[in-house]
Amino acid sequence: MVDFCPDDTPELKAWRLEVREFLHEAWPSKRIFDYDYDEDPAGWEEYKAFWRAVGKKGWVALTWPKEYYGQARSTVEKWILDEEFIAYGAPTYPVIGLAVAAAVLRHGTHEQRLRHLKGIAEATTLWGEGYTEPSAGSDLASLTTRAHRDGDHWVLNGQKTLGTAAHQCDWMFVLARSDPNSVKHNGISAFLVPLDTPGIQMLPLENIGDGQQNQTFFENARIPADCLVGDEGQAWNQIWFGIGGEQLDNAFAAQDTHLMRMVRMLADTISYCKETKRGGAPLTEDPVIRVQLGELMVGVEALRLAALDGYSKAATSGKGGRGALESNLNAAFYKEFWPHYAQVAMEIVGPLAQIQGGKWAQLNGRFEKYFRTSFGNHAGGTSQLKRMVAATRGLGLPR
């Protein structure tokens, strides 16, 4: 592990302060806003304006190459930025855009980079992800959405589902089968699809965490040929396995959304326990609660260090961070730990944690909302599948 001791130079100390001061100005309300679990229109406007301000600073693309709207700054600086965002409680960037940026930077053409990275860097374009289909979830390679070439267009037909916040998005990153005779992983291509294309329709899927996924229907949706990203038929290896999915801890380091939220939640859980009395004493003095909090601290700290490890490996290798074993172990742990965290936190808070709003809600109802959202832990693949990949690809167990 590279020694990540971020504040060991005056420059880095100054950088940390710069970020901190910016946040006070750009997000004064300190409102808790998780874009994938909030449908409040005013909140969305405030949120988008915030990220456009971050984008203006050039901080979304902090580590990207200069020729593509980036600042080519170091991974250490990126880590400091993220730490400050967490500490401040700022909302996280819509993560799919960052995955798309990584894919386009790696596999896109120069023109595609110029065209698409700008909107992501400036936070003016929002991206949805169109991988999952009604009968292709964990078994993504069984997807049947078709893309066929027609002159200088690709024509899409099929259905995607569970697209997070796709109704808020301008573009969608779509995986489709471009070779009709292919099976499984071969013959799948990736497309950058403008969502205002005729022939695309969406139906909402409301989730239990106050957010919305969507079903997206493609009926002879014609997109220009240059919407194909990467090599035709090679998306599985290039995009999905290489960068997509949840493997965001690479050189273009995306924010680790879930981790950031969990670190924030832990800090808030601990202050809640310090400030709340039961039977006359603060919850932090209750021996059972101390044990519960201790367990939560261990899990969150392990995840924080895993992210740090990813950043530091990326800093040394200049490429992807953690390997298949490490990243899948982290993902599997995270996916199981999140609902566990939410459950234990609700046990700590007790019966009043049920209340969702108003004067009697604890921490504005955030514990129970965190509990509800924790069943969205399957986004990006289930823990069972992460364990399976870790076991076979990582530990070398037979498939």
Ligand X SMILES: Cc1cc2nc3c(=O)[nH]c(=O)nc-3n(C[C@H](O)[C@H](O)[C@H](O)COP(=O)(O)OP(=O)(O)OC[C@H]3O[C@@H](n4cnc5c(N)ncnc54)[C@H](O)[C@@H]3O)c2cc1C
Q: Applying CB under 6 A, which residues contact ligand X?
A: 129-132, 137-138, 162-164, 213, 376, 378-382, 384-385, 388
Considering only residues 232, 372, 392, 393, which one is a binding residue for another protein as defined by CB under 8 A? 372
Q: List the interface residues with another protein, window 96-135 (CB under 8 A).
A: 132, 135
Between β-strands 153-160 and 212-224, what pairing exists: parallel, antiparallel or unpaired? antiparallel
Q: To the nearest whole angstrom, how small is the minimum distance from the Cβ of residue 35 to ligand X?
A: 12
Rounded (10°) CA dihedral 85, 90, 91, 97 = -40
Rounded CA separation 130/146 (Å): 13
Question: Three-state SS for 177?
Answer: strand
CA–CA–CA angle 40, 45, 49 (5° rounding): 145
- In angstroms, the CA 228 to CA 361 distance is 49
Question: Which CB atom, from 135 or from 356, has the smaller least distance to ligand X?
Answer: 135
Q: Is 9 an interacting residue with respect to another protein (CB under 8 A)?
A: no
The Cα-based distances of 56 to 49, 102, 251 in angstroms read 10, 20, 21
For residue 180, state whether it binds another protein (rule: CB under 8 A). Answer: no
Residue 346 to residue 328: CA distance in whole angstroms: 27
Closest distance to another protein from the beta carbon of 278 (Å): 5
Choices 1-9, 91-99, 122-130, 205-213 (CB under 8 A): range interacting with another protein? 205-213
Q: Phi and psi for 86 in degrees, rounded to 5? A: -60, -50
Q: Which of 46, 73, 220 is nearest to 150 (CA)?
A: 220
Partner touching 129 among another protein, ligand X, none, CB below 5 to 8 Å by kind: ligand X
| Minimum CB–partner distance for residue 280 and another protein (Å) | 9
Q: Which is nearer to ligand X, 81 or 195 (CB)?
A: 195
Examine residue 142 and tell whether it contacts another protein (CB under 8 A): yes
Axis-axis angle for helices 257-275, 324-349 (nearest 10): 30
In the list 71, 92, 112, 161, the residue contacting another protein (rule: CB under 8 A) is 161
Q: What are phi and psi of 67, to 5 degrees?
A: -65, -15
Sole binder of another protein in the list 99, 162, 165, 202 (CB under 8 A): 162
Among 376, 389, 390, 394, contact with another protein (rule: CB under 8 A) = 376
Contact segment (CB under 8 A) with another protein among 56-64, 82-90, 121-129, 369-377 equals 369-377
Q: Which pair of tokens denotes residue 301?
A: 């700290």
Binding of another protein at residue 371 (CB under 8 A)? Answer: yes
Sequence-separated (6 or more) residues with CB below 8 Å from residue 207? 37, 213, 376
Looking at beta carbons only, is 16 or 258 nearer to ligand X?
258
Structural contact between residues 129 and 163, judged by C-beta atoms closer than 8 angstroms = yes
The CB-side HSE value for 294 (13 A sphere, CA atoms) comes to 7
Can residue 375 be called a binding residue for another protein (CB under 8 A)?
Answer: yes
Measured from the CB atom, the residue of 296 and 389 that comes closer to ligand X is 389
> Degrees (nearest 5) of the Cα angle 290, 294, 297?
140
Question: Which residue lies nearer to another protein by CB, 45 or 139?
Answer: 139
Minimum distance, C-beta of residue 104 to another protein, in the bound complex (Å) = 26
Binds another protein (CB under 8 A): choice among 387, 389, 390, 394: 387
Count of chain residues binding another protein (CB under 8 A): 47
Could you list the residues that contact another protein (CB under 8 A)? 132, 135, 137-139, 142, 161-162, 205-209, 213, 277-279, 288, 339-340, 343, 346-347, 349-361, 368, 371-372, 375-376, 378, 382-384, 387-388
